[in-house]
Amino acid sequence: MKIWIDADACPRAVKDIVFRAAERLEIQTVVVANQVMRHPDSPWISSVVVSGDFDAADNHIADEVAAGDVVITADVPLASRIVGAGAVGIDPRGEVFDEENVGERLSARNLMADLRSGGLIQGGPREMDTLDTHRFASALDRELTKRLKG
């Protein structure tokens, strides 16, 4: 099992939670971004810098992920791809993407994108708050515990 972080837009607080879990549980964690991202100097944490091409980080993660891995991402299309490979996704607000819900989440995301492009709605998600961070930490703990026991 590995943890993958789609790091370009991942909040710092979320990355810090993942880094602490990786150290505590000794789980290989890979930070993927289109620029150098700072992370703790640890044998458990590494990084991959991809090109600045659109979806380069997503493509790298989707190509490398394995069944049982955990991917931290807010990108629903990426979540759909990794779930298809047997992994699970967790967004920074603590929502878990798995085979039971990712299709529905992808459809909702596509509908919202269509409504935004048509000018029917504006704006994006609200800012992260402390409750979101706690939900993320709980979801990460649950998913890692499942995989380590299974």
pLDDT tens digit string along 21-33?
999 999 999 999 9
The encoded tokens of residue 39 equal: 């992370």
Whole-angstrom distance, CA of residue 112 vs CA of residue 116: 6
Nearest CA-CA partner of 32 in 58, 12, 53: 58
Q: For residue 73, what pLDDT band results from cuts at 50, 70 and 90?
A: very high
Break the chain into its structural domains and give their ranges: 2-149
What is the fold, at CATH topology level, of the domain defined by 2-149? Rossmann fold (3.40.50)
Q: Would the pTM of this model clear 0.75, i.e. be above it?
A: yes
Residue 101: the pLDDT is 79
Calculate the dihedral angle through the C-alpha atoms of 127, 131, 134, 140, rounding to the nearest 10 degrees: -60
For residues 100 and 138, the model is more confident at: 138
